[in-house]
Amino acid sequence: MSQLMPALEPYIRQRRAQREAHGQAPILLMSHLVLGYPSLAVNQETIAAMAAAGVELVELQIPFSEPIADGPVIAQANQLALDQGFRVEEGLEFAAACVQRHPEVAFLLMTYSNILMAYGVERFIERAAQMGIRGLIVPDWPPQEAGQPMALCQAQTALDWIQLFTPTSTDVRLQTIGRWARGFCYCVARKGVTGGRTDFDADLRHFLQRCRQVTDKPLAVGFGVRTSADVQTLTPLAEIAVVGTAALEIQRTAGAVAVGAFFQKLRG
């Protein structure tokens, strides 16, 4: 297991403090890519470009045939990776190599519950922890049903099961999820799936205020973050801006170097 990086929450707070000390906007960037799309070789180039552009966290998605939280761009990338014969084991080996290659970046794995169950939940979590993965995001596994994996993550030194806040959740549910939170909380900026348009308006501000009231963990905001204006709007509201579909579209049309240039401009 990598010993070069602290657990997620102190890492996030340290990196934000470093940016503030240099007079930079403190908000961190988290990117998302689908392993095996269009290939692991291109994934490697894209991650290197992201790291060089200063991206602090990278979410590596293990492809699944029914990615219910994902919009058409990411869902199609999942299917194409599977059509090309992607295997979970090669994805985990790739993730382990990423942790070693980019020790300054916090890597997370994102996938769906069937992947963990097929691999073996305890085996998957222990493997992730041993390789230095810092967080797991499993959007189709609600916390009230995820007692076993959450406990297994909590037993690890520096692997967090990431909770999701959604705008449709009641205050009582947000409070319950907030009590389970570790690392950071992923705030889903709007109803629906990834990739659509998000209005960064008073409703979103109110939702994030509700999230703040139930947890002292850092907040990451995703679903629809696309531009530097979006990131600027989020800077006083959240610790992390999550950019997924927009980066994947650029990778698909212009390549890895263009993805790096895109992230370099996001914080102005």
Q: Any idea which residues carry the catalytic annotation?
A: 59, 70
Integer Cα distance of 6 and 239 in angstroms:
17
- Burial pattern 228-260, b for ≥16 Cβ within 10 A else e, equals eebbbbbeebbbbbbbbbbbbbbbeeeebeebb
| Phi, psi dihedrals of residue 15, rounded to the nearest 5° | -65, -35
- The SS3 of residue 221 is strand
Integer Cα distance of 93 and 127 in angstroms:
10
Give counts: helices (H), strands (E), the chain: 12, 9
Cα Dmax for the chain? 47
DSSP track, 149-204: HHHHHHTSSS-EE-EEE-TTS-HHHHHHHHHH--S-EEEE-SSS-TTS----SHHH
